[in-house]
Amino acid sequence: MNDIVETRWWWIRHAPVINPEGRIYGRCDLEADCGDAAIYEGLAAMLPREAHWVASPLRRTHQTAAAIHAAAQHHEGASAPLIEPDIVEQDFGEWQGLSWPELEARDEKRYHRFWLAPAHQAPPGGESFETLSVRVAGAIGRLTERHAGSDIVAVAHGGPIRAALALALGIEAERALVFAIANCSLTRLDHIADPAMPNGVWRVAMVNQLPGRFRR
């Protein structure tokens, strides 16, 4: 009897936000630009037909999910993603809404400390990437247990996807920041549970894969 259970996570970073001034947006609830239909057709072709869909509370993830669903009506049960607060983007606190030059001019010392140790520094009133990684790991653990043996499509943000990679690879949060995670890219991480390994193991199937270069 095969007791191995594989749970596949399909992480998608949301569509580009409408942010012409290039401001720090973090948890700001900005609109996404979902106008390129070919991107969502490509994503729909890459994703499993039957999956549990989750998204962060921010509208850009729901707009992205809706664009994918519109491109693939055959996605069963995909019209209403579960809102999962713990996969929301990093909270940049008082820095949200500022441009990087404005931030440097306002708080030069904290600005430079942030770039020296970006995973460990928390903006005023916000959270560090390290803190984000802890909450994302908790959500992954809960949902992996709840949907064991299934496919989970998570429409989220660059920060949480890097945190998921840190968990899968068993690396420190700081090292996960080196990953490029493009808008509308797909990262797949498989959790493999085996009675011989109580906590299971992870397999990295793809990272930052853009539509059109892969077909399931």
Amino acid present at 50? E
Tokens of 90: 């990093």
Distance between first and last Cα of the chain: 28
Could you tell me whether strands 186-194 and 151-156 are parallel, antiparallel, or unpaired per DSSP bridges?
A: unpaired
d(CA 162, CA 99): 23
d(CA 188, CA 90): 21
d(CA 67, CA 58): 15
User: 7-45, pLDDT tens digit by residue?
Assistant: 999 999 999 999 988 999 999 999 999 999 999 999 999
Compute how many other C-beta atoms are within 10 angstroms of the C-beta atom of residue 181: 22
Give the containing element (helix H, strand E) for 80. Answer: none
pTM score: 0.93
Statement: residue 67 has pLDDT above 60: yes
pLDDT for 75 equals 52
Could you tell me whether strands 197-209 and 186-194 are parallel, antiparallel, or unpaired per DSSP bridges?
A: antiparallel
pLDDT for 74 equals 55
Residues above pLDDT 70, as percent of the chain: 94
215: confidence class by pLDDT, cuts 50, 70, 90: very low
User: 75-102, pLDDT tens digit by residue?
Assistant: 544 557 899 999 999 999 999 999 989 9
